[in-house]
């Protein structure tokens, strides 16, 4: 079987690799001059400083079905992880912090009262069983058979009462879960911040799952990042595809998917080249897929659903080359992979509301990555990289909530807004600006310009709200990646099971293709 994969993001590469391993003739087409989509690592500031362009945390890929099946083969082709035993922390005023590490006593030492310490230990004790049940659901195919299988697994492993409790968690908001589980406001903010990674502000139903999983998984298992950069995944997948006779072509932008009598026939590139295929796998955002089909798939409900697909607020990336790690007021934070800055849960809610109203948040939510704490190979000896993800920004600016920035276009705004971010960080890490050797700022629209799947700078390629998740991702009836066009399949973060580096849709679709 001859297969064309449009887009070299992680789902496209996993689909291509799985099909190449089955013996099919695979060609992956990438519009840029380099592969990887959001899983790339580049020297963005100064020579020798390697920065993860978007994704940094590879725990989802490490735990994915594809990696579990092909771990040894991927390692042969260069995949290498670095374990992280202090995955994340949240910082507060005057050197205070809450941190999750794989050492239970160390984590408990940052929890202020006995009631919450007991609640944390109880949650950790119940986590393996609940995580197994959630894993069955989150890896299930969104079909009647797939859901029935997952439901039976959950019921059998948890029983009726705990299964209902799990259903309650599934529809809870981040605020619901954290406030019903813990009393400490610090913990509420620290854990609820994970919801924003998938577009769940504190009060949005269905947003409790990711904070729950990240919190206790960080304690139970830690985290992994890529040796030398997140692109260790991308490079190993490309080598694997090529080792099985497949091709990965860069600067090969697709302008059209050719369809005849309702069957995908291949693609046409922007330079006019025509390529034929038995199957086409599109690792593209919904609206981009519709453009490639000429806005018509043959199914009006599918077409409307794809056009109505909603994206999350934008993200800014700030990449810093540093002479030293930040001098956090809480010195222990120099040992964590991630540091969240978003003091209290109402701050998270306010920031989200400001972004949704088109306003530049006055105090954005920051996810600060310190990869060189665990992987010094990413920078010259004694130096460091800092990866700053600025969460919840508008793609189209209506104004500034702080009343300080007058411009409303990102090219004019991005450096000034990055200055605001650095000043905000210096409240917790004084003197940060004096450590900066190089800075590279990427606005939400810059992200989209380089990777059209990140519409408006949405790094998860579509909100994960309940109306657009599970059976409804991207459109009811098409959550398994098939489309109304025979032989055309869709993968990527817009398809169930959604965003992150787990590559679930790419693996599932490739497994299903005969």
pLDDT digits (tens, 9 = 90+) for 221-256: 999 999 999 999 999 999 999 999 999 999 999 999
Tell me the CATH number at 251.
Answer: 3.50.50.60
Average pLDDT over residues 429-439: 98
Count of domains forming the chain: 2
Q: In angstroms, rounded to a whole number, what is the distance separating the alpha carbons of residues 506 and 513? A: 11
- CB distance 80 to 152 below 8 Å: no
**91 inside domain:** no
- 114 and 214 both lie in a single domain: yes
pLDDT at position 406 is 97
Percent of the chain with pLDDT over 70: 100
Please state which of the ranges 75-79, 159-163, 435-439 shows the lowest mean pLDDT: 159-163
User: Does 366 score more than 90 pLDDT?
Assistant: yes
- 111 and 21 both lie in a single domain: no
**421 inside domain:** no
Of the pLDDT bands very low, low, confident and very high (cuts 50, 70, 90), residue 262 is very high
- 113 and 215 both lie in a single domain: yes
Per-position b or e across 260-271, b if 16+ CB within 10 A of its CB = eeeebbbbebee
- 71 and 177 both lie in a single domain: no
User: Does 86 score more than 90 pLDDT?
Assistant: yes
**352 inside domain:** no
The whole-chain average pLDDT of the chain stands at 97
How many other β-carbons are positioned within 10 Å of the β-carbon of residue 68?
Answer: 9
User: Does 343 score more than 90 pLDDT?
Assistant: no
Q: In angstroms, rounded to a whole number, what is the distance separating the alpha carbons of residues 365 and 424? A: 10
- 67 and 121 both lie in a single domain: no
- 122 and 215 both lie in a single domain: yes
The H or E element containing residue 331 is none
- CB distance 236 to 77 below 8 Å: yes
Task: Collect all residues with Cβ–Cβ distance below 8 Å to 93 and sequence separation of at least 6.
Answer: 343, 427, 428
Q: In angstroms, rounded to a whole number, what is the distance separating the alpha carbons of residues 386 and 363? A: 19
User: Does 268 score more than 80 pLDDT?
Assistant: yes
Average pLDDT over residues 59-77: 97
How many other β-carbons are positioned within 10 Å of the β-carbon of residue 147?
Answer: 15
For 428, counting Cβ atoms within 10 Å of its Cβ (0-12 exposed, 13-18 middle, 19+ buried), the class is buried
pLDDT at position 214 is 95
- 74 and 110 both lie in a single domain: no
**337 inside domain:** no
Q: In angstroms, rounded to a whole number, what is the distance separating the alpha carbons of residues 324 and 378? A: 13
Please name which of 62, 190, 32, 33 lies closest in space to residue 502, comparing C-alpha atoms. 62
- 171 and 216 both lie in a single domain: yes
Q: In angstroms, rounded to a whole number, what is the distance separating the alpha carbons of residues 164 and 173? A: 16
pLDDT at position 180 is 96
pLDDT at position 266 is 98
- 474 and 502 both lie in a single domain: yes
Q: Provide the residue range defining the domain that includes 252.
A: 2-37+55-81+228-309+464-512
Average pLDDT over residues 129-158: 92
Q: In angstroms, rounded to a whole number, what is the distance separating the alpha carbons of residues 491 and 14? A: 10
| Residue whose entry in the numeric block shows the structure tokens 């990240």 | 214
User: Would you give the DSSP letter of residue 313?
Assistant: P
pLDDT at position 66 is 97
Average pLDDT over residues 56-81: 97
**384 inside domain:** no
- 175 and 240 both lie in a single domain: no
- 171 and 238 both lie in a single domain: no
Q: In angstroms, rounded to a whole number, what is the distance separating the alpha carbons of residues 230 and 18? A: 20
**362 inside domain:** no
- Please report, for the chain, how many H helices and E strands are present, in that order: 16, 21
User: Does 97 score more than 90 pLDDT?
Assistant: yes
Tens digit of each residue's pLDDT (9 = 90 or more) over 460-514: 999 999 999 999 999 999 999 999 999 999 999 999 999 999 999 999 999 999 7
Q: In angstroms, rounded to a whole number, what is the distance separating the alpha carbons of residues 99 and 112? A: 12
- CB distance 420 to 429 below 8 Å: no
Of the pLDDT bands very low, low, confident and very high (cuts 50, 70, 90), residue 144 is confident
Average pLDDT over residues 194-215: 95
Q: What is the DSSP string of 167-217?
A: HHHHH--HHHHHHHH---HHHHHHHHGGGGGGT--TTSTT-SHHHHHHHHH
Average pLDDT over residues 433-440: 98
For 456, counting Cβ atoms within 10 Å of its Cβ (0-12 exposed, 13-18 middle, 19+ buried), the class is middle
pTM listed for this prediction? 0.96
**242 inside domain:** yes
- 130 and 155 both lie in a single domain: yes
**455 inside domain:** no
pLDDT at position 514 is 75
Phi/psi at 491 (nearest 5 deg)? -130, 170
């Amino acid at each position: 079987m001859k297969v064309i994969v449009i887009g070299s993001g992680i789902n496209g590469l996993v689909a291509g690799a799985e099909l190449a391993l089955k013996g099919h003739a695979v060609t992956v087409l990438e519009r840029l001059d380099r592969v990887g989509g959001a899983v790339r690592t580049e020297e963005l500031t100064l020579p020798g400083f390697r920065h993860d362009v978007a994704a940094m945390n590879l725990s989802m890929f490490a735990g994915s079905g594809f990696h579990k099946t092909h771990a040894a083969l991927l390692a042969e082709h260069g995949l290498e992880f670095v374990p992280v035993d202090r995955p994340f922390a949240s910082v507060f005023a005057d050197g205070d912090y809450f941190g999750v590490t794989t050492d239970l006593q160390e984590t408990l030492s940052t929890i202020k009262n006995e009631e919450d310490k007991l609640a944390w230990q109880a949650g950790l004790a119940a986590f393996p069983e609940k995580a197994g049940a959630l894993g069955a659901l989150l890896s299930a195919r969104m079909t009647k058979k797939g859901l029935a299988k997952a439901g039976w697994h959950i019921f059998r492993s948890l029983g009726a009462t705990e299964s209902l409790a799990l259903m309650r968690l599934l529809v809870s908001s981040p605020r619901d879960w954290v406030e019903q589980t813990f009393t400490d406001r610090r913990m509420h903010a620290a854990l609820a911040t994970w919801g924003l990674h998938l577009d769940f502000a504190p009060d949005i139903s269905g947003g409790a799952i990711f904070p729950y999983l990240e919190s206790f998984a960080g304690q139970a298992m830690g985290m992994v990042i890529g040796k030398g950069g997140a692109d260790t995944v991308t490079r190993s997948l490309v080598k694997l595809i090529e080792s099985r006779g497949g091709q990965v072509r860069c600067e090969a932008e697709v302008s059209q998917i050719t369809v005849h009598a309702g069957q995908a026939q291949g693609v046409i590139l922007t330079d006019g080249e025509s390529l034929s295929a038995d199957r086409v796998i599109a690792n593209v955002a919904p609206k981009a897929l519709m453009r490639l089909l000429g806005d018509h798939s043959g199914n009006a409900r599918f077409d409307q659903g794809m056009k109505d697909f909603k994206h999350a607020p934008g993200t800014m990336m700030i990449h810093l080359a540093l002479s030293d790690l930040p001098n956090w007021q809480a010195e222990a934070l120099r040992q964590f992979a991630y540091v969240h800055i978003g003091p209290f849960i109402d701050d998270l809610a306010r920031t989200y509301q400001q972004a949704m109203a088109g306003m530049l948040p006055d105090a954005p939510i920051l996810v600060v990555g310190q990869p060189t704490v665990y992987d010094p190979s990413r920078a010259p000896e004694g130096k460091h990289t800092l990866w700053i993800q600025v969460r919840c920004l508008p793609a189209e600016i209506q104004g500034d909530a702080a009343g300080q920035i007058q411009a409303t276009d990102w090219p004019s705004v991005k450096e000034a807004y990055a200055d605001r971010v650095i000043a905000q960080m210096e409240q917790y890490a004084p003197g940060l600006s004096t450590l900066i050797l190089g800075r590279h700022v990427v606005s939400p629209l810059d992200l989209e310009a380089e990777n059209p799947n990140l519409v408006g700078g949405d790094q998860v390629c579509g909100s994960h709200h309940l109306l657009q998740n599970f059976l409804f991702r991207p459109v009811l009836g098409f959550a398994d990646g098939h489309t109304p066009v025979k032989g055309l399949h869709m993968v990527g973060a817009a398809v169930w099971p959604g965003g992150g580096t787990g590559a679930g849709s790419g693996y599932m679709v490739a497994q299903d293709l005969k």
